[in-house]
Structure 1
Amino acid sequence: MKRRTAEPYKIKAVEPLKMLNEQERKEALKKAGYNTFLINSEDVYIDLLTDSGTTAMSDRQWGTLMTGDEAYAGSKSWYKLEQAVKEIYGYNFVIPTHQGRGAENLLSQMKIKEGDYVPGNMYFTTTRAHQELNGATFVDIIIDEAHDSLYDHPFKGNVDLSKLESLIHEVGAEKIPYVCIAVTVNLAGGQPVSMKNMRDVYELCQKHGIDVMYDATRCVENAFFIQEREEGYTDKSIKDILKEMFSYSDGCTMSGKKDCLVNTGGFLAMNDEKLYTRARELVVLYEGMPSYGGLAGRDMEAMAQGIYESIDDNYIKHRIHQVRYLGEQLIEAGIPVVKPIGGHAVFLDAREFLPHLKHEELPAQSLAAALYLDSGVRSMERGIVSGGRNKVTGENNKPKLELVRLTIPRRVYTNNHMDVVADSVISLYEKRDQISGLKMTYEPPTLRFFNARFEPLSPSGELMTNETSSTTT
């Protein structure tokens, strides 16, 4: 008999959840313009919008909040964070930032010039926005299998080396300031990169004098997949795998709000002392002193502690398995999801889920809205709305993957919550032909998915053309 396991933690404090009835959810959704980002959190039952900054911190992390050194310069808490980054990730130099996009801003301004190309293993929204605002063109060099939601590949985040080599030969190495490698790849479904692929990319880039910079936001999850799937790593610790991963790069941006297990914070790390000197100067303009970078001392203390907690093998095993617990229920019910199940979320394939909706009818946005209406579960669109517009033509970017992300916060929910989510998704799938498409009624010029507003395309003006939502009250 297979023995069941439980969470590797116990609960010390609870936060009550509010459960709106169907009519209240309908009103909240309409008020938010059918954009899940604009729904008030108090009106959400189970919040799977993001895993960014939504972690439940440990008792030790809460304890560090009382020992934070709030000195404006040279804070003791900064030196603890710096030491943790150097010890666990192995970089020589560290610049703290208020979160990951602060690090992306610094990196893009320092490395990119007008007319450059930045290749990466699938775009991420804020990363590409910073690159484009500084004059670069993003080029997707991920393997083709990553764009097929049903293809079961152990490392769908891998870079296609032939695509990278072709770009180098086409535009010249001098036009490529760095290669941006996400570990894991969010918009591919939380898919990992193999250690061999990281090594091969680094060797190729070294040959051409091109830097490799990681988006290391979910690096611990990537390390787990290497431990689980790649030959030669089964008996290695997460800590040792991480150190080898980062040895195949020149630096990284980090949103500490994910795998560093905190509610705010990030950093830019590198091995190049000249780049570090420039970053120290630039961070003062945008974030704060190089010894706090927009963070309170207590936040740096909590992040340092979180970095050490994140590499516990028992913690990360439970983390990945909880995501799988939800994903496997949906697969068993015949729900179209990205395979294999990734590290931080289960991704619903909205185009397969809602085949009656055209791409321009925003199937992922419609499905995310319908899920909230059905059960109060908040999720996130990751499709044509998130893709934005081509900066040259103004046309909608049309990513091959049109997804709804069910993102699991770390150490927050139990598997009972996952059961509720599964029941709602399965119920929606059974009445999927009743879900209307949406049209955009307000579109911000940048990162439109955060603040855009929508309304149903149905003649009745209703999202569900036959109001048969869940009976949850």
Structure 2
Amino acid sequence: MAIRKAEPYKIKMVEPIKLIPRKERDKKIKEVGYNQFALKAEDIYIDLLTDSGTGAMSDYQWAGIMMGDESYAGSRNYYNLEKSVQDIIGYKYFVPTHQGRGAENVLFPIMIKEKGQYVLSNMHFDTTKAHVELKGGRAVNLVIEEAFDTETEHPFKGNFDLGKLEGFIKEKGVENCAFIIVTITCNSVGGQPVSMENIKGVKKIADQYGLKVIFDAARFAENAYFIKKREVGYENKQIVDIIREMFSYGDGLTMSAKKDGIVNMGGMIAIKEDEELYTISRSMVVPIEGFPTYGGLTGRDMEALARGLREVVEEDYLESRIGQIEYLGQRLIDAGIPIQRPVGGHAVFVDCKKFCPQIPYNQFPAQAVCVELYKEAGVRAVEIGSFLLGRDPETGEQLESPMELLRLTIPRRVYTYNHMDVVADALIEIWKKRETLKGFEFTYEPEVLRHFTAKLKPIE
């Protein structure tokens, strides 16, 4: 019998959670327009909305909090963070920001030279796509087709389709392409990794056409772990060496450090060696985020991040984290529930096109399962599908997402296997009555990033 390894940490402090009664849950979700983002945290039992900023920091990170240097300029914590970035990522320059979208807000206007230029990615996440479009660019996704078949066991479903990438550049003209974003891991197709071979291929095409490669590096360590476990030639390499090789094929990155930085707030721009791009980015941070040596962060935030970047590359931590997610995924697979396979790095993604095929894309099947999961067990998850995707910016027509996914996002070092069992048991109960689920329509729909604040009602 396989022996399960225990978590590579012990619990030092706990926070009470409470499951409110079913009647109250039904009332709460209705009052907020069936949008899980609007629920109060105190009304959630197990919160799987996101892994962004929701992880538990270590005693070493908390000790660093007490060493915060809150000098406006030149904080020692900035220089500690700079050293971590250079040691782990291997880039010469970096600029802190308050989080990932702050980094995008600074960098993208610099790199999108003309309105209408294309930004090419394996798959843009929602805020990344929004920042591209707000800056006048057009987001294009070029992930491999296998990513959209949840039953296919492809080891690197986050990969670019390299043929489509080069074909698009040729068809549209390189002058109409701003830059390339490599999202690691690729969140919108199920937290799926990108192989080293594929990253090299992207860089080769980029160099051929004179385009810069920018990583969306929110989950860089998890991507490196998958490379070590799944890609031939990397099985004996250290995680930090894989990370440095990955980033060597790029020109820069934006990072929401609230994921693999294991902090509650933080982000950055890092640039490999382009001093001009760094200088412009550094100057643009000032009016948008703050002085270049704090960039919207306190000194204590920067110290926690400097330490978190060093902890996230520890293999026993990564093995434990991804093992917990694999456990939840396997429980759902064993129950016959369709999920994106293989299980990704930060979440389990339920295929709601197959879960409730009676609900069409424009009535948001994954949102229906999301609402029912809260009613069933007080578990908050999130829709990654047509509700999130939104409308065509030119025609206003509802876009159809290639996948309708319910994301069960696991915070780092927060929940136990017992919590995973509660989630699995609840979804299995919903699976048994899935034919009764109904779709939703808007009662309020904002124009940008609508899924955060929209209000809905069930379709009778």
What band does the TM-score fall into relative to the shorter chain? over 0.9
Equivalent AA in structure 2 for residue 93 of structure 1? Y
Equivalent AA in structure 2 for residue 435 of structure 1? L
The residue aligned with 1:262 is 263
The residue aligned with 1:43 is 43
| Structure 2 SS opposite 1:3 | coil
The residue aligned with 2:277 is 275
What stretches of structure 1 move > 3 A for 4+ residues in a row?
Answer: none
- Residue 121 of structure 1: CA displacement? 0.5
The residue aligned with 1:444 is 446
- 1:126 paired with 2:127, answer yes
Equivalent AA in structure 2 for residue 105 of structure 1? N
The residue aligned with 1:292 is 294
Equivalent AA in structure 2 for residue 344 of structure 1? H
The residue aligned with 2:111 is 111
Matched residues in 2 for 1:20 and 1:186: separation? 31
The residue aligned with 1:6 is 6
Spell out the pairing of 1:42-441 with structure 2 (5 A cutoff): 42-112=42-112, 113-271=114-272, 272-441=274-443
| Structure 2 SS opposite 1:122 | coil
Equivalent AA in structure 1 for residue 35 of structure 2? N
| Structure 1 SS opposite 2:253 | strand
Contact 2:215 2:252 survives alignment (8 Å) = yes
Q: Deviations over 1:172-214 (max 9, x none)?
A: 2222221011010001000000000001110111111100000
Contact 2:347 2:410 survives alignment (8 Å) = yes
Matched residues in 1 for 2:155 and 2:351: separation? 19
The residue aligned with 1:15 is 15
- Residue 417 of structure 1: CA displacement? 0.3
| Structure 2 SS opposite 1:177 | strand
Equivalent AA in structure 1 for residue 103 of structure 2? A
| Structure 1 SS opposite 2:105 | helix
Equivalent AA in structure 1 for residue 278 of structure 2? Y
| Structure 1 SS opposite 2:240 | helix
What TM-score comes out, normalization by structure 2 length?
A: 0.99
- Residue 123 of structure 1: CA displacement? 2.1
| Structure 1 SS opposite 2:139 | strand
Equivalent AA in structure 2 for residue 263 of structure 1? N
Contact 2:440 2:459 survives alignment (8 Å) = yes
Matched residues in 1 for 2:5 and 2:172: separation? 52
- Residue 107 of structure 1: CA displacement? 1.4
- Residue 115 of structure 1: CA displacement? 2.0
Q: Deviations over 1:34-56 (max 9, x none)?
A: 11111100000000000000010
Of the structure 1 ranges 351-360 and 364-373, higher mean CA displacement relative to structure 2 is found in 351-360
Gaps of 5+ in 1: 459-473
The residue aligned with 1:469 is none
Matched residues in 2 for 1:392 and 1:455: separation? 26
Q: State the identity %.
A: 52
- Residue 141 of structure 1: CA displacement? 1.0
Equivalent AA in structure 2 for residue 354 of structure 1? C
- Residue 391 of structure 1: CA displacement? 0.8
| Structure 1 SS opposite 2:215 | strand
Matched residues in 1 for 2:181 and 2:291: separation? 26
- Residue 234 of structure 1: CA displacement? 0.5
Of the structure 1 ranges 13-22 and 106-115, higher mean CA displacement relative to structure 2 is found in 106-115
Of the structure 1 ranges 308-317 and 110-119, higher mean CA displacement relative to structure 2 is found in 110-119
Q: Deviations over 1:254-302 (max 9, x none)?
A: 0000001000000001121001110111000110000000000000000
- Residue 147 of structure 1: CA displacement? 1.5
Contact 2:443 2:455 survives alignment (8 Å) = yes
Matched residues in 1 for 2:386 and 2:116: separation? 25
Matched residues in 2 for 1:18 and 1:30: separation? 20
Q: Deviations over 1:149-169 (max 9, x none)?
A: 222100001111111111111
Matched residues in 2 for 1:75 and 1:4: separation? 43
- Residue 418 of structure 1: CA displacement? 0.1
Contact 2:362 2:398 survives alignment (8 Å) = no
The residue aligned with 1:465 is none
Matched residues in 1 for 2:248 and 2:289: separation? 27
Matched residues in 1 for 2:131 and 2:11: separation? 39
Equivalent AA in structure 2 for residue 290 of structure 1? P
RMSD of aligned C-alpha atoms? 0.8
Matched residues in 1 for 2:44 and 2:368: separation? 17
Matched residues in 1 for 2:415 and 2:158: separation? 27
- Residue 120 of structure 1: CA displacement? 0.4
The residue aligned with 1:463 is none
Equivalent AA in structure 2 for residue 349 of structure 1? D
- Residue 385 of structure 1: CA displacement? 0.8
Equivalent AA in structure 2 for residue 383 of structure 1? G
Matched residues in 2 for 1:434 and 1:406: separation? 22
Matched residues in 2 for 1:185 and 1:108: separation? 19
Matched residues in 2 for 1:67 and 1:359: separation? 50
- Residue 362 of structure 1: CA displacement? 1.2
What TM-score comes out, normalization by structure 1 length?
A: 0.96
Contact 2:362 2:400 survives alignment (8 Å) = no
Matched residues in 2 for 1:3 and 1:148: separation? 32
Contact 2:52 2:258 survives alignment (8 Å) = yes
The residue aligned with 2:457 is 455
